[in-house]
Chains A and B, each alone.
Chain A
Amino acid sequence: MSSNQTDIPASAYDMSHIDEADERRTLAIIVDNEPGVLGRVVGLFSARGYNIESLTVAEVDRRRHRSRITVVTNGSPQMLEQIEAQLLRLVPVASVTDMTKSKRGVERELALIKVAGTGDKRVEALRIAEIFRARVIDTTNESFIFELTGASDKIDQFCALMRPLGLNEVSRTGVLSIKRGAEPG
């Protein structure tokens, strides 16, 4: 928000706040990849007042037409139980896995980060990028684009460090997750 003269939020939705008792969860939703399926999932979240912090979706099994939707959400334990049950009511939803609760979940996010600057700031940006093992995928005399994968908070941290050095654009995939170990699912 740019305005600091007034307390009025920019949007009505800025007024909502996360409750203390709320928990954050990453859900892996396996669905039949058919037209409108993402609309059903997203529509369910908005219709029932559930939150979506991040969302990723892509087909993961071409032969069986299965897509994997990863949603990061938050809510009270009762709401989280409802979210799973409501998702399973959707006909094209094959399964819902709570990756956070499973403990075996690993989470990664990919970000593309543009930092524009010259002189010392440019050198410093490159030095921090090395520490974070971010790759430079595009460069001009006054800018870099970094590619960075990692847990979401690592990307947050990287962005925070880059901000004073000229960060001017960020594109993130949202969270992906998978379970450790040999077994699928």
Chain B
Amino acid sequence: MDTQAHPGADTEARMMTGAEIVITALQEQGVEVMFGYPGGAVLPIYDALYSTPEIRHILVRHEQGAGHAAEGYARSTGKAGVALVTSGPGATNMVTPIADAMMDSIPMVVITGQVPTHLIGTDAFQECDTVGITRCCAKHNYLVMDVKDLARTIHEAFLIATTGRPGPVVIDIPKDVQFATGRYIGKDGVTRRTYQPQTEPHPSLIEEAIAMMRKAKKPVFYTGGGVINSGPEASQALRDLQKATGFPVTSTLMGLGAFPASHEDWLGMLGMHGSYEANQAMHDCDLMICVGARFDDRVTGRIDAFSPNSKKIHIDIDPSSINKVISVELPIIADCGNALTALNTAWKGTRPEKPDLTDWRAQINAWRARKSFAYSGSDTEIKPQYAIERLHALTKDRDTYISTEVGQHQMWAAQHYHFEEPNRWMTSGGLGTMGYGLPAAVGIQAAHPDALVIDIAGEASVQMVLQELSTAVQHKLPIKIFVLNNEWMGMVRQWQELLHEERYSHSYSDSLPDFVKLAEAYGGLGLVCDDPKDLDSKIQEMIDYDGPVVFDCRVTKAENCLPMIPSGAAHNEMILSEITGDEIDETGRGLV
């Protein structure tokens, strides 16, 4: 391996077992909480953990839960999430969270046990090719064959997981390596010559960007998860730059919270279920400043009709994001926070007055007047949008964190729960993993014991990794699972209405459990509500309960999530109020 390690003054080289090296390295990396599940191939590490009360280990009920919990922990703290699982099935159960963390650029270190080195390749009990299986869905991975490589490998893994474009790193450790004795090396000086992410923007590009920004008549900031990943300073720099320029801001699903939703220049989320004003502004702008976003297909709609008349600046730490989907005039490879700070300085240094955007503002306000997130209310039924609105109203003044599952409820949460700060919104964007939200809430609550942590769920998604309710009860993590129960895989039902002439093939959530009894069976509180008049008091009851709650919120069954840009359509071809079934042409039908 090509890592240079110089034991630092306070991290003197010491001899210890591989298992102790793992725990010592985790402690040196500042790990306070980890999520895991034991098994034969990680017992030595579990043994070392037994005498390390400084690290809080949250025992999950399924390894997928450990992975998503680590993701939730990471996303809500900005630190790496850590998971520990055994070989074979333990490792394969982790594949979904690893792929999820890769897609959403979440820093995560996964430690997997492996059969002893002399058994590798013999189809030994609980052997699987973990590095082979995770090679294409992790940022990097290692099989540590020699205890002398172990400490530096772990430090290098943290370095790679948390720097550059963050992502999951897997360390596969054979059992004999855990037992072997080796030298511990501290993290100081551990680098990797072939891994040097560029974090500082080139000054001449910043100047060019400023010149383009000065000229713009119809500018828009299009920000993404990269701003969140870059830390709270990046969100602050975005706010400062917006204040100085007055440019309107939209964000991807992953970027919500970087810019305050209560701000008058906030356009709302963009993309498939984004606001009309955000998508129109993207389509009609003359300058698009993309910060830490990646022109995902959920955002761009039809590529050849994407923002036809704009010049584009793309700030991203990952050079492969540049020109991958959309060609841009000015790519800036840098950490978002650094680039935004440099833009701030340059903007203020030259001519600090705000450009006149009166016409553009008027245009945006006209689009805004369409009220694209509006829905028809009801006195008798709980509309899902209304449920999110009330949830927001009753929790916004608290220290609240929101996670979601995947489906309509996720999009309604993004539309109607308005985020003011970064790191408050945890959702599976890139992979779209049903079952993410509940274990993510477990991880968030473990990081923020006194906060109010709510998983906005669908009745179908929540059943995917439901057993983690038991984890929440065991570890006294008072998460609230707010199920928008529409008795349908609503998003699937909506697509079948849109694309398959209302042939609802296998999308009804039949034989649902009694969620109240289910909560009670696990040792939590179950609440049910089907009347809009009771909703506030029931939500309050949920908030006030000191323990895990499952809230069965019975909402309108066949509500569609609108507005919507159908697959294969352009930004300015949104469905605003009603689905008729002929919105999608033949090409669109083939898309996802």
Cβ distance A76 to chain B, nearest Cβ, rounded Å:
12
* Complex-state Cα separation, A35 to B323, whole angstroms: 31
Which of B140, B193, B320 has the most C-beta atoms of chain A within 10 angstroms of its own C-beta?
Answer: B320
Prevailing SS type, chain B contact patch: loop
Q: A165 interface residue, CB < 8 Å from B? A: no
Cβ distance A40 to chain B, nearest Cβ, rounded Å:
6
Q: A104 interface residue, CB < 8 Å from B? A: no
The interface size bin for chain B is 20 to 34
Whether B327 pairs with A91 at a CB distance below 8 angstroms is: no
Which chain A residues lie closer than 8 Å to B131 at the CB level?
A: 36
Which chain B residues lie closer than 8 Å to A35 at the CB level?
A: 143, 145
Q: A89 interface residue, CB < 8 Å from B? A: yes
Whether A82 pairs with B2 at a CB distance below 8 angstroms is: no
Whether A89 pairs with B135 at a CB distance below 8 angstroms is: no
Cβ distance A51 to chain B, nearest Cβ, rounded Å:
18
Taking A78-B327, A91-B195, A93-B194 as contacts, is the C-beta distance between A34 and B320 under 8 angstroms? no
Within 8 Å by CB of B194, from A44, A81, A91, lies: A91
Q: B322 interface residue, CB < 8 Å from A? A: yes
Q: B438 interface residue, CB < 8 Å from A? A: no
Q: B324 interface residue, CB < 8 Å from A? A: yes
Cβ distance B168 to chain A, nearest Cβ, rounded Å:
13
Taking A34-B1, A65-B2, A91-B194 as contacts, is the C-beta distance between A85 and B135 under 8 angstroms? no
Q: Please report which residues of chain A, range 22-55, place their CB below 8 angstroms from some CB of chain B when the two chains form the complex.
A: 31-32, 34-36, 39-40, 43-44, 47
Q: B136 interface residue, CB < 8 Å from A? A: yes
B319-354 CB mask vs A (1 if < 8 Å, else 0) is 110111001000000000000000000000000000
Which of B2, B139, B192, B323 has the most C-beta atoms of chain A within 10 angstroms of its own C-beta?
Answer: B2
* Complex-state Cα separation, A43 to B132, whole angstroms: 10
Taking A32-B194, A94-B194 as contacts, is the C-beta distance between A40 and B2 under 8 angstroms? no
Q: A92 interface residue, CB < 8 Å from B? A: yes
Which chain A residues lie closer than 8 Å to B327 at the CB level?
A: 78
Q: List 15 A-B contacts (CB under 8 A).
A: A31-B194, A36-B132, A39-B132, A44-B136, A78-B323, A82-B320, A82-B324, A85-B322, A85-B324, A86-B320, A88-B319, A89-B320, A91-B139, A93-B194, A94-B194
Pick the 10 closest A-B CB pairs, nearest first.
A85-B320, A94-B194, A91-B140, A85-B319, A32-B2, A86-B320, A47-B136, A91-B195, A43-B136, A89-B320
Instruction: Point out residues on A near B: beta carbons under 8 Å.
Output: 31-32, 34-36, 39-40, 43-44, 47, 64-65, 78, 81-82, 85-86, 88-89, 91-94
Instruction: Point out residues on B near A: beta carbons under 8 Å.
Output: 1-2, 131-132, 135-136, 139-140, 143, 145, 160, 192-195, 318-320, 322-324, 327
